[in-house]
């Protein structure tokens, strides 16, 4: 017995628990059980029970969906900057009639200098069995237009790029919330233990709003997007130093794991430790799996040409989308691919959209065709769209258009959506959604639904409140579901 101030000190194991210790000891097991119930997975509950309080449970372990999914993977072709739907897929004859006229409007332009109505600078033709109109600057997409499900009446809450990007990616216009890819990873885990569940291929010069567009927010850190780059070095610092052998690295990682798990056992409330432990193992496995996945040289000349790799203007985006297909084949759950430019046509819309279509048209069409012939399109949801669209009025002196969050177009293909279906309408000049309007939460609810997740059940307790990707709204767009 130890002496303390001339009194016998009680044994260490008999002293009263502090409030913090009591909450740590009693809360850890219940937290894991609650998570298991939320995700509907007996396997996770069994793993947590077997491991016991304070034991490591891989946050990326596969988890069953809430119901049978139509899609296993998502490839989101994020068109940053705001492409103009009525200049690409949804022509408005009224723009020709009103060209040069000023209409009464309550529009608050982002940059000001709002001019008269401007007709489209592009010619349209009808294509496919559906007779869908496609602008002449998208000849390759025109060939696969029957695969597309056009959502023509989307609306968002901000006309500023970064807040609109945050909303389209995370459901909120302010930063710091989990992205859609992180929610999918959290809800379903990963089918591959050698590659991340969520991969992002960003612009070379950065995306407005930065890495928070694909962050995990308050979800476990293991669910955030992992950046991939085209070429032979997909991830910086991925390969071990030349003077370190595989056996040496394995011993180092085993020691790190032992130390981290020991620390986690003493600090079970620090859930980010799970992500740290998982990240070391994933990084080790990725040294081999990622290097294999990015070997585009293994693809045939015909496949490379299909994606536009034989042309300078489309090579970069084509490489990203060909890599996306290879990642889907290897079990990656959620992929985002950004072209290396923006559709932000405040001036010279004709030049801007012609350039962006030259970069993206053939790779996008090639991806759809390649997925279909490999039997992957049925289980891969492909999404195309930006954070908002463009206004029907002209801007500047050389034919630009300002931001328009009140009515814009996205499309989906594969993964359980109705091919060739058109949903919703904007008004006669393409300004506002007027029929079957679709909000950003509706888009997110539909993506999760196609992955087999109920957006109202996929929640996470943070700051005393249950958060979800769709916040307090959102409905599945049932009519686009096949």
pLDDT at 291: 75
Report yes or no: 269 and 29 within 8 Å, Cβ to Cβ: no
pLDDT at 296: 93
Burial status of residue 46 (CB atoms within 10 A of its CB: 0-12, 13-18, 19 or more): exposed
Terminal-residue alpha carbon distance, the chain: 73
Query: Distance between CA 423 and CA 445 in Å, rounded?
Result: 16
CA neighbor of 451 nearest in space, from 46, 15, 73, 43:
73
Q: What is the pTM of this model?
A: 0.84
pLDDT at 104: 77
Helix (H) or strand (E) holding 461: strand 460-462
Query: Distance between CA 267 and CA 313 in Å, rounded?
Result: 52
Q: Domains of the chain by range and CATH?
A: 23-55 (no CATH), 73-234+294-480 (3.40.720.10)
Query: Distance between CA 327 and CA 336 in Å, rounded?
Result: 11
pLDDT at 41: 38
**Helices and strands of the chain, counted as H and E runs:** 12, 21
Query: Distance between CA 274 and CA 456 in Å, rounded?
Result: 26
Rg (CA), the chain: 25
pLDDT at 434: 97
Q: What is the pLDDT along the chain (482 residues), one digit of tens a residue?
A: 343 433 333 344 444 555 555 545 444 444 444 444 333 334 444 444 445 555 556 788 899 999 999 999 999 999 999 999 999 999 999 999 999 999 877 777 888 778 999 999 999 999 999 999 999 999 999 999 999 999 999 999 999 999 999 999 999 999 999 999 999 999 999 998 889 999 999 999 889 999 999 999 999 989 999 999 766 676 766 666 767 677 776 777 677 777 777 777 777 666 666 666 666 666 666 666 677 888 899 999 999 999 999 999 999 999 999 999 999 999 999 999 999 999 999 999 999 999 999 999 999 999 999 999 999 999 999 999 999 999 999 998 889 999 999 999 999 999 999 999 999 999 999 999 999 999 999 999 999 999 999 999 999 999 999 999 999 999 999 999 99
The rounded Cα 403 to chain-centroid distance in angstroms is: 22
pLDDT at 249: 63
Query: Distance between CA 305 and CA 362 in Å, rounded?
Result: 9
Report yes or no: 125 and 133 within 8 Å, Cβ to Cβ: yes
Residue that is written with structure tokens 């996470």 in the block = 460
Residue 302: φ, ψ to 5°? -65, -40
pLDDT at 42: 42
Those residues with Cβ within 8 angstroms of residue 292's Cβ, 6 or more apart along the chain or in another chain: none
Count CB-CB contacts under 10 A for residue 130.
16
pLDDT at 48: 43
Count CB-CB contacts under 10 A for residue 52.
12
Q: What is the β-pairing status of strands 438-439 and 148-155?
A: parallel
Those residues with Cβ within 8 angstroms of residue 155's Cβ, 6 or more apart along the chain or in another chain: 405, 406, 407, 408, 432, 433, 437, 438, 439, 440
pLDDT at 266: 77
Residue that is written with structure tokens 């908002």 in the block = 388
Write the DSSP symbol of residue 39.
H
């Amino acid at each position: 017995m130890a002496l303390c101030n001339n009194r016998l000190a009680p044994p260490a194991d008999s002293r009263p628990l502090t409030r913090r210790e009591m909450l740590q000891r009693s809360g850890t097991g219940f937290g894991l059980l609650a998570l298991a119930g939320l995700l509907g997975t007996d396997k996770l509950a069994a793993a947590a029970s077997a491991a016991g309080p304070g034991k490591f449970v891989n946050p990326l372990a596969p988890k069953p969906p809430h119901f049978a999914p139509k899609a296993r993977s998502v490839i989101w072709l994020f068109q940053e900057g705001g492409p103009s739907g009525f200049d690409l897929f949804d022509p408005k004859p009224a723009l020709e009639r009103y060209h040069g006229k000023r209409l009464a409007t309550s529009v608050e332009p982002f940059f000001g200098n709002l001019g008269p109505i401007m007709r489209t600078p592009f010619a349209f033709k009808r294509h496919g069995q559906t007779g869908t109109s496609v602008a002449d600057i998208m000849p390759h997409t025109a060939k696969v237009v029957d695969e597309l499900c056009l959502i023509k009446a989307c609306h968002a809450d901000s006309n500023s790029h970064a807040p609109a990007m945050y909303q389209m990616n995370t459901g909120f216009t302010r930063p710091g919330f989990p992205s859609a890819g992180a929610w999918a990873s959290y809800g379903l885990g990963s089918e591959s233990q050698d590659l991340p569940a969520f991969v992002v291929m960003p612009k070379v010069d950065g995306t407005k709003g930065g890495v928070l567009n694909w962050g995990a927010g308050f979800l476990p850190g293991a669910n955030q997007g992992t950046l991939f780059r085209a070429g032979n070095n997909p991830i910086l610092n991925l390969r071990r130093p030349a003077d370190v052998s595989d056996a040496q690295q394995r011993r180092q990682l085993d020691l790190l794991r032992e130390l981290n798990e020991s620390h986690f056992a003493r600090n079970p409330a620090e859930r980010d430790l799970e992500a740290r432990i998982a990240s070391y193992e994933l990084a080790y496995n990725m040294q081999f799996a990622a290097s294999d996945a990015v070997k585009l040289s293994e693809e045939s000349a015909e496949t490379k040409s299909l994606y536009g790799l034989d042309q300078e203007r489309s090579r970069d985006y084509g490489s990203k989308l060909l890599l996306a297909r290879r990642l889907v084949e290897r079990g990656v759950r959620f992929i985002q691919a950004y072209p290396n430019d923006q559709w932000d046509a405040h001036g010279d819309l004709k030049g801007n959209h012609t350039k962006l279509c030259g970069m993206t048209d053939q790779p996008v069409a090639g991806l759809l065709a390649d997925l279909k012939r490999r039997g992957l399109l049925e289980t891969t949801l492909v999404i195309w769209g930006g954070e908002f669209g463009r206004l029907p009025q002209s801007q500047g002196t050389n034919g630009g258009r300002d931001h328009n969050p009140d009515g814009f177009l996205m499309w989906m293909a594969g993964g359980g959506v109705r091919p060739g279906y058109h949903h919703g309408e904007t008004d006669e000049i393409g300004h506002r959604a007027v029929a079957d309007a679709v909000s950003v939460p509706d888009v997110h609810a539909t993506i999760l639904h196609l992955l087999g997740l109920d957006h109202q059940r996929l929640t996470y307790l943070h700051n005393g409140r249950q958060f979800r990707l769709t916040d307090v709204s959102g409905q599945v767009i049932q009519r686009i579901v096949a």
